[in-house]
Structure 1
Amino acid sequence: MAAFGRWKAQRLARADCSRKGALDERAAGVVRLLNGRAPFCTTSSCAGRLVLAEGGAAGDGGGIPVPKRHCRWLLVAHEPCGRADVMAALEKATGNVVFKFEPFVLHVLCQELRDAQLLHSVAIESGFKNSGITVSRGGKIMMAVRSAHCLEVPLSHMGKLMVSEEYIEFLVHVANQKMEENARRIDRFYKGLEAALEAAGGVSSSSSTEPGQAQAVYVRRRKRGTARAQGVLCSPEDRNEELEPGDDPQGSLDIFAGITL
């Protein structure tokens, strides 16, 4: 479809509006591989990271979730870190601090439903079991690569550390192991994607399934019990690229998002 090609060219010509302002090195290979194929356009990505986030100031009463845009990042690492890194960052805390590992996440706009299905199959086989396909009310088909291979643990409350340094050392060890597994999954996904695209002959965009027909399929299967419960791990402003207004998963119909580990 000519319209998809024009939209993709405009989308890829935009400046990167993420905080980092550039692709994460570990995700760059997958992003470039997909954007080099006519039926795909990546809209957001995060290679995976360790985060120490402060989500509330002292005296806020605690217990109330704070949106990511209101968080203060005390530490962000895309590679394994050490206990000393976390302890040094905690010295700056005055509110409620959470330590997180957020795994690889990628959103890809697909020209046809079968293009999204190919990506979904590779993602599941690579270990990204929470991956899913959505179609927006405007007919855009989005493939989300994601997993439940995450970690989130509160460490301090109103500036007071609630755990021991020994526990933090253990926690960092677990998070680093998850980071290493995340890297292996990205590598499997890249290699599987290369093989699948080659086998599919570049994934021809000529398909008899029109956007309207694809949406009808999603409507029949929209009632997935866990679809709304699964959140995107990296908010648009934190990822390497931003989502389009019409691509918000909350305004879409899900088909494969019910798959979990």
Structure 2
Amino acid sequence: MDSFFLNLLSIMLRDIKYGIKSSWIRRKEEILSKFDESLKEGLIDDRILPTLNLINGLPHYYTVSSCSGRIIILDLPEVGDKKSAIFRGRWHRCVEKNEVLNAISECTKEGWFILNPPIIHVISDDIINAEKILSIAIKCGFKRSGIKSIKRDKITVEINSTEMIETIISKNGYVLADDYYIITLVEYANKKFCRFQQKIERLNVRLYELYTIHD
């Protein structure tokens, strides 16, 4: 009798496992279909595309909202009110002082200079594979990475870096800093931008190694 119930339990657990796996595969197919549509519409950040393709090509992962890093000038009505904010400048590349100044000149309320590091959201099919890609990301320099959420049928890993700048630069149309400060700010932002692009390149190399193993 004990043997019978153990066998029955084993079958039930197997069916649950395969049911979860089947559901995960269907969801990955749906997400990648939407990804292809966004790609055709030009909505995917070109710099991060090779990384996303490598991750999505692996059997245990797929990606959702991701960005290669950016420099932005944001016009905020007040601190914290990002829903009402207006982008006066947005670049997924290094910037020049003049284009930053032009963007700042368009700010009418609080003008903020912001450097956002890369962020990649990876969905894994189980905790073991989540820990594997998390370990790779951290070794490539993405020190702020971690497991963001754990659910029965998916684990969300956030790959993130430490490079960030966020400072007010104008208020009510008045620029709060002189040219030398803005030149220095742009210089440091560009250095940090290049630094995390190198991290993305290192990550791509490690992902390619995983990709060739599974190929």
Aligned: 1:42 with 2:59: no
**83 and 197 in structure 1: CA distance in 2 versus 1, 3 angstrom threshold:** same
- Match in the other structure for 2:48: 27
- The answer (yes or no) to whether the contact 2:121–2:158 under 8 Å persists in 1 is yes
**5 and 105 in structure 1: CA distance in 2 versus 1, 3 angstrom threshold:** same
Q: Displacement of 1:137 after TM fit?
A: 4.8
Per-residue CA distance 1:180-231 (angstroms, 9 max, x = gap): 1011000001112222454xx439xxxxxxxxxxxxxxxxxxxxxxxxxxxx
Q: Displacement of 1:168 after TM fit?
A: 0.4
Percent identity over the alignment?
Answer: 26
Aligned: 1:81 with 2:101: no
Tell me how many residue pairs correspond in the alignment: 192
- Match in the other structure for 2:26: 6
Partner residue of 1:65 out of 75, 80, 84: 80
Counterpart Cα distance in 2 of 1:86 and 1:98: 11
Larger RCO, structures 1/2 (Cα 8 Å, 6+ apart): 1
- Match in the other structure for 1:186: 200
Partner residue of 2:120 out of 83, 86, 106: 106
Counterpart Cα distance in 2 of 1:152 and 1:81: 16
- Match in the other structure for 2:214: 202
Counterpart Cα distance in 1 of 2:194 and 2:172: 32
- The answer (yes or no) to whether the contact 1:118–1:196 under 8 Å persists in 2 is no
Counterpart Cα distance in 1 of 2:84 and 2:111: 13
TM-score (norm 1): 0.69
Q: Which runs of 5+ in 2 are unaligned?
A: 1-20
Residue 106 of structure 1 aligns with an amino acid whose one-letter code is I
Counterpart Cα distance in 2 of 1:158 and 1:145: 36
Q: Displacement of 1:140 after TM fit?
A: 2.3
- The answer (yes or no) to whether the contact 1:80–1:176 under 8 Å persists in 2 is yes
Q: Which has the larger radius of gyration?
A: 2
Q: Displacement of 1:44 after TM fit?
A: 1.1
Aligned: 1:144 with 2:158: yes
Counterpart Cα distance in 2 of 1:196 and 1:35: 12
Residue 124 of structure 1 aligns with an amino acid whose one-letter code is I
Q: Displacement of 1:134 after TM fit?
A: 3.0
Q: Displacement of 1:157 after TM fit?
A: 1.4
Q: CA RMSD in A?
A: 1.9
Per-residue CA distance 1:57-105 (angstroms, 9 max, x = gap): xxxxx5x3212x3210011111111110111112211110110111110
Residue 54 of structure 1 aligns with an amino acid whose one-letter code is D
Counterpart Cα distance in 2 of 1:182 and 1:134: 21
More helix by share: 2
Question: 3-state SS of the aligned residue for 2:214?
Answer: coil
More strand by share: 2
Counterpart Cα distance in 1 of 2:181 and 2:155: 43
Question: 3-state SS of the aligned residue for 1:30?
Answer: helix
Counterpart Cα distance in 2 of 1:135 and 1:95: 36
TM-score (norm 2): 0.83
Residue 65 of structure 1 aligns with an amino acid whose one-letter code is G
Matches within 5 A, 1:85-234: 85-137=99-151, 139-198=153-212, 201-202=213-214
- Match in the other structure for 1:249: none
- Match in the other structure for 1:230: none
